[in-house]
Structure 1
Amino acid sequence: MLKTIGAQIKEYKMASILTPVSIIVEVIAEMLIPRCMGSIIDNGIKKDDMTHIYMMGVLMVILALISLAGGSLGGVFGAKASAGLAKNVRKAMYGKVQTFSFSNIDKFSTAGIVTRMTTDVTNIQNSYQMILRMCTRGPMVLIVAMVFSFTISPKLASIYLVAVIFLSVILFIIAKLAMKYFEQVFKKYDELNNSVQENVTAIRVVKAYVREDYEKSKFIKASENVYKMFVKAESIVVFNMPLMQLTTYVCILLISFFGAKMIVVKDLSEGDLANLLAYCMNILVSLMILSMVFVMISISLASAERIAEILNEEPDIVNPENPVMEVKDGSIEFKDVCFKYNKDATDNVLEDINLKINSGEVIGILGSTGSAKTSLVNLISRLYDVTEGSVSLGGVDVRNYDLEVLRNEVSVVLQKNVLFKGTILDNLRWGKKDATLDECKEACKMACADEFIEKMEDGYETLLEQGGSNVSGGQRQRLCIARALLKNPKVLILDDSTSAVDTNTDEKIRKAFAESIPGTTKIIIAQRVSSIMNCDRIIIMDEGKVNGFGTHDELLAGNEIYKDVFESQTAGSGDFDEGGR
């Protein structure tokens, strides 16, 4: 975990080194000031030597300036190093998430990833700055002050040693007890963020069903859980301060009492006692700082573990060593394919799939909800890898292709239509980043999107809101289809992507496909028989298995599922699920 996070320091190593160096200079200069004070008392005031007093005064000013410079530089370098580490960690996490397959992403919730990239990274940043500065300053003050104290009076300095050991043990116990609550806090943060994200994303549904009070109660409950965990943790950490104060005052009393006795018998000078009292405060304050750092590190360790989970997660789907860089054609073959989302699952989502699709064919897929239609087509573009068997494209196993090449040649319009904030033209160019306006217009014409775009005041420069919320569901679908067409792929997959358009527009889109991209293999998942009945062949999916594969006429004559759906829909009773078996 620490190695994983530490690897992100990179170009900020020098700043990370200069921070403790500056702090060491600050501490040494600061610790020499009490020695000057003691010398002023013993060799200046008691001997009435004003020259010595002035010399020590000037030296104290110089030491104070050196200490100030060291502390200031330590602050600057520490801020640069910690902010740089946070930047690199966020960048590394974001880059790693981009390499994840769907199966990797399934392991982490969206809210969990957001919390890791915000709250957890901020904790790491604050903790790293404290480690560089306070974890250098605290031990250095402790060591230098203890050494100077023992050179003055080993007997009195032993009081500090006992206090340090006592406090170290107590602070370790406090931090250990608080740690388990801090670990739970961030899980509660995930729940809190998830509640907010879900509510904002689905705000239209919430308002449509008048569920604002229910959503408020969910948020309050999640917020209450975070509050309770922090209270439990802080109620333990709060013992730090009283224990520190108790130890400090006891040490001052003991040093003053035994020091006064030693002065009477001439075993200690007044200046040395002043030095010891100054070092007493320095030692115990350094311990208090270390206790605060210890608590902060305890919090950040939980954050570091969560960040390391992302950074150490290995993508399930990666490029082979010598990838194939060209897809010959759009022919597809499923051979003895079995698939399950979780390797530990007992049942397969897809079972014993054997299909052969010729390049340029138009294939329809029909099946009830949950029959694994989407799972089947996701294997073609290698969004998931098969558990058993193989899927081939252009005569080559999809696992042997370069991922970018494969996904550029297999264009998928997903079930959930996603558009990004920006102009219509910007969104279309996701399909082809250097597409000309004419190319975009041609793709929109094929997808029947030009009909509504040209009616807009700004046309292709019309600004879309996040998620395309300012256009209708059918318009989003057509824009997504146009975006996919710009890739000019060997295979085009429409995953129920015309469900929100009327039957007339659906027919126009299919006709445009047949005329404009005859060489592209087209796979259309649909609930309406009318959307696929004119396909070259139709696949009937049932409970993760291929129940039938043939033309409309063949299936109508020999497949009960297709026959039932066709009859129910042509009789006007609705979609597949309503008119199913």
Structure 2
Amino acid sequence: MLKTLLSQVKQYKLASILTPLCMIGEVICEMIIPVLMAGIVDKGIYGNNMGYIFSTGGKMIVIAVLGLLAGLLGAYYGSMASTGFAKNLRKAMFDNIQTFSFSNIDKFSTSGLVTRLTTDVSNIQNAYMVTLRMAMRAPASMIVALVMSFIISPELARIYLGAVIFLAVVAVLLMRRATRYFKQVFEKYDELNESVQENVSAIRVVKAYVREDYENAKFKKAALNIYNMFVKAEGNVVYVSPLMTGTVYVCILLISWFGAHMIVAGNLSTGSLMSLLTYCMSILMSLMMLAIIFVMMTMAEASGKRIAEVIEEKADLTNPENPVMEVADGSISFDHVYFSYNKSSDEPVLKDITLDIKSGETIGIIGGTGSAKSSLINLISRLYDVTDGSVKVGGVDVRDYDMEVLRDQVSVVLQKNVLFSGTILDNLRWGDKNATEEDAKRACEMACADEFIEKMPDGYNTVIEQGGTNVSGGQRQRLCIARALLKKPRILILDDSTSAVDTATDAKIRKAFATMIPGTTKLIIAQRISSVQDCDRIIVMDDGKINGFASHDELLKTNEIYREVYESQTGVSGDADFDSASGQ
């Protein structure tokens, strides 16, 4: 874990080295000043030597300024190193997430990834800052203070040493109890983020069903869980500060008592006693800083493991050593394909799928809910890999292609249509970043999106809100289809992407496909027979298998499922649908 995290320090190594060096310089300056103060008291005041007082005072000012400068530089370099480290961690995670296949993404919840990119990285950033500054300063300050105390008076310094050992043991025992609670806190953060994400993304549904009170209660419960965990952890940590303060005050009383007797006996000077008391406060502050470091490192350990998991996660799907860089045509071939989302699953999602689709064909795909229609088309653009068998595009196994090349030529409009904040033109250019406005207009004409875009006040420069909430479901679908068309793909896949479009517009879109992109292979998943009946051939899916694969007319004669659904939708007889028909 440490190796993975520290590898992201990168260009901030120099700042990471300079920070502790500056802190050591600050400590040295702080430790010299009590010695000079003792000299002023013993030699200057008691010796009535004003020259010594002024010269030593001047030295103290210079050393104090140098200490201040060292502290400021330490803070500057520490901030640079910690914020830069956090930036690199976020970038490393985000970059690696972009390489994830769907199966990798399935391992991490969206809310979990958000927590790792935000809260967990902030914990690491704070811990790194504290480590660079306090973790070097506190031990150095404490060790130097103890050494100086032993130099001044070994007898009184033993009191410090005993106090340090006692407090170290107590702190370790208390922190060990707190550690397990800090480790559980971040799992609760995932639940909190999940509650917020669901509520914000589905706020219209929440209001439509008047579920605000329910959502408030769910959020309150998640927040309360975090509160309770922190209370348990802090309940153990809270004893550290009063114990340390009380112990140091006892040390001050003992040193004052025994020191006064030693001054009377002539074994200790007044200035030396003042130095010892100053070093006592330095040791107190050092111990307090060490306690803070221990708490933050405990929290950072849990966060670090979660961050390292994301950075170290290897994508299930990778390019071959010598990938094919060109897709010859839009032909598709499935050869005895089996597929499971879970490798250990007993029952595969797709079972012995064998079919051949010619380049330029228009293929309809229908079937009941859970019949694995989407799973079938996800294999074509290699969003998942087959469990057994092979899928070929353009006569080449999809696993032999460069994935970017393959996905540029296989354009998919998924069931869940997503638009991003920005103008309509910005969204369309996701399909082709170099597309002109004329290119975008032609794609929108094919997708029948130009009809409503031209009615908008700003046309193609109309701003789309996040998620496309300011356009209707049908408009969102048509924009996503136009975006996919801009890629000029060899294969176009529409996964139930016209479900929110009226039948007349659906027919226009299909007609445009047939006349304007005849060389593109088109796969259309739909629930309406009218959306696929004009296709060259239609695949009927049932329970992960191909129940039929033929033209509309042939399926009406030979396929019972298809015939029953057709009759129900055209009003010939009954009221069946795909789910009920396939279950017979």
Distance 2:316 2:171 in 1: 43
Distance 1:297 1:336 in 2: 53
The percent of aligned pairs where both chains have the same amino acid is: 65
The residue that corresponds to 2:438 in the other structure is 438
Matched, 1:525 2:498: no
Equivalent AA in structure 2 for residue 10 of structure 1: K
Distance 1:55 1:438 in 2: 82
Distance 1:578 1:441 in 2: 41
Equivalent AA in structure 2 for residue 42 of structure 1: D
| Alignment deviations for residues 428-470 of structure 1 (CA, whole Å, 9 cap, x no partner) | 1111111112111111111111111122222111111111111
The residue that corresponds to 2:14 in the other structure is 14
Equivalent AA in structure 2 for residue 117 of structure 1: L
Distance 1:352 1:224 in 2: 50
Please show how residues 120-135 of structure 1 align to structure 2 within 5 Å. Answer: 120-135=120-135
Matched, 1:252 2:252: yes
Distance 1:337 1:254 in 2: 82
Equivalent AA in structure 2 for residue 271 of structure 1: G
Distance 1:44 1:438 in 2: 89
Given that 1:100 and 1:315 are in contact with CA atoms closer than 8 Å, whether structure 2 keeps it comes out as: yes
Please show how residues 263-282 of structure 1 align to structure 2 within 5 Å. Answer: 263-282=263-282
Shift, 1:390, TM fit? 1.2
* 3-state SS, counterpart of residue 499 of structure 1: coil
The residue that corresponds to 2:37 in the other structure is 37
Shift, 1:419, TM fit? 0.8
Given that 2:138 and 2:287 are in contact with CA atoms closer than 8 Å, whether structure 1 keeps it comes out as: yes
Shift, 1:575, TM fit? 4.6
Q: Give the number of aligned pairs.
A: 581
Shift, 1:343, TM fit? 2.2
Given that 1:569 and 1:579 are in contact with CA atoms closer than 8 Å, whether structure 2 keeps it comes out as: no
Please show how residues 90-105 of structure 1 align to structure 2 within 5 Å. Answer: 90-105=90-105
Task: Give the TM-score of the pair, scaled to structure 2.
Answer: 0.97
Distance 1:550 1:94 in 2: 45
Shift, 1:393, TM fit? 0.6
Distance 1:240 1:55 in 2: 42
| Alignment deviations for residues 77-102 of structure 1 (CA, whole Å, 9 cap, x no partner) | 11111111111111111111111111
Shift, 1:525, TM fit? 0.5
The residue that corresponds to 1:577 in the other structure is 579
Distance 1:48 1:273 in 2: 19
Structure 1 window deviating more from structure 2 (45-54 vs 258-267): it is: 258-267
* 3-state SS, counterpart of residue 338 of structure 2: strand
Distance 2:145 2:126 in 1: 27
| Alignment deviations for residues 159-178 of structure 1 (CA, whole Å, 9 cap, x no partner) | 22221122112112222211
| Alignment deviations for residues 202-260 of structure 1 (CA, whole Å, 9 cap, x no partner) | 11111111111111111111111111111111111111111111210121122222323
* 3-state SS, counterpart of residue 548 of structure 1: strand
Given that 1:528 and 1:575 are in contact with CA atoms closer than 8 Å, whether structure 2 keeps it comes out as: no
* 3-state SS, counterpart of residue 577 of structure 1: helix
Equivalent AA in structure 1 for residue 476 of structure 2: R
Equivalent AA in structure 2 for residue 69 of structure 1: L
The residue that corresponds to 1:347 in the other structure is 347
* 3-state SS, counterpart of residue 487 of structure 1: coil
Given that 2:561 and 2:578 are in contact with CA atoms closer than 8 Å, whether structure 1 keeps it comes out as: no
The residue that corresponds to 1:82 in the other structure is 82
Shift, 1:21, TM fit? 1.1
Structure 1 window deviating more from structure 2 (560-569 vs 218-227): it is: 560-569
Matched, 1:72 2:68: no
Structure 1 window deviating more from structure 2 (44-53 vs 295-304): it is: 44-53
Cα RMSD, aligned residues only:
1.4
Distance 2:311 2:384 in 1: 20
Shift, 1:426, TM fit? 1.0
Given that 1:568 and 1:579 are in contact with CA atoms closer than 8 Å, whether structure 2 keeps it comes out as: no
The residue that corresponds to 1:512 in the other structure is 512
The residue that corresponds to 2:412 in the other structure is 412
Given that 2:443 and 2:485 are in contact with CA atoms closer than 8 Å, whether structure 1 keeps it comes out as: yes
> Hey, which bits of structure 1, 4+ residues long, moved more than 6 A?
none
The residue that corresponds to 2:317 in the other structure is 317
The residue that corresponds to 2:207 in the other structure is 207
Given that 1:82 and 1:126 are in contact with CA atoms closer than 8 Å, whether structure 2 keeps it comes out as: yes
| Alignment deviations for residues 336-393 of structure 1 (CA, whole Å, 9 cap, x no partner) | 2111112233321112211111111111111111111101100100111111221111
Distance 1:58 1:534 in 2: 96
The residue that corresponds to 2:196 in the other structure is 196
Distance 1:285 1:441 in 2: 68
The residue that corresponds to 2:300 in the other structure is 300
Distance 1:57 1:187 in 2: 55
Shift, 1:574, TM fit? 6.9
| Alignment deviations for residues 505-541 of structure 1 (CA, whole Å, 9 cap, x no partner) | 1111111111111111111101111111121111111
The residue that corresponds to 1:164 in the other structure is 164
Please show how residues 478-557 of structure 1 align to structure 2 within 5 Å. Answer: 478-557=478-557
Where does structure 1 lack aligned partners over 5 or more consecutive residues? none
Distance 2:462 2:128 in 1: 45
The residue that corresponds to 1:112 in the other structure is 112
Equivalent AA in structure 2 for residue 149 of structure 1: S
Equivalent AA in structure 2 for residue 161 of structure 1: L
Given that 1:528 and 1:576 are in contact with CA atoms closer than 8 Å, whether structure 2 keeps it comes out as: no
Equivalent AA in structure 1 for residue 160 of structure 2: Y
* 3-state SS, counterpart of residue 114 of structure 1: helix
Given that 1:30 and 1:64 are in contact with CA atoms closer than 8 Å, whether structure 2 keeps it comes out as: yes
The residue that corresponds to 1:136 in the other structure is 136
| Alignment deviations for residues 79-132 of structure 1 (CA, whole Å, 9 cap, x no partner) | 111111111111111111111111111111111111111111111111111111
Task: Give the TM-score of the pair, scaled to structure 1.
Answer: 0.97
Distance 2:354 2:257 in 1: 92
* 3-state SS, counterpart of residue 355 of structure 2: strand
The residue that corresponds to 1:53 in the other structure is 53
Distance 1:397 1:114 in 2: 35
Equivalent AA in structure 1 for residue 232 of structure 2: K
Shift, 1:264, TM fit? 3.3
The residue that corresponds to 2:226 in the other structure is 226
Equivalent AA in structure 1 for residue 113 of structure 2: I
Where does structure 2 lack aligned partners over 5 or more consecutive residues? none
The residue that corresponds to 1:285 in the other structure is 285
Shift, 1:578, TM fit? 5.9
Equivalent AA in structure 2 for residue 423 of structure 1: T
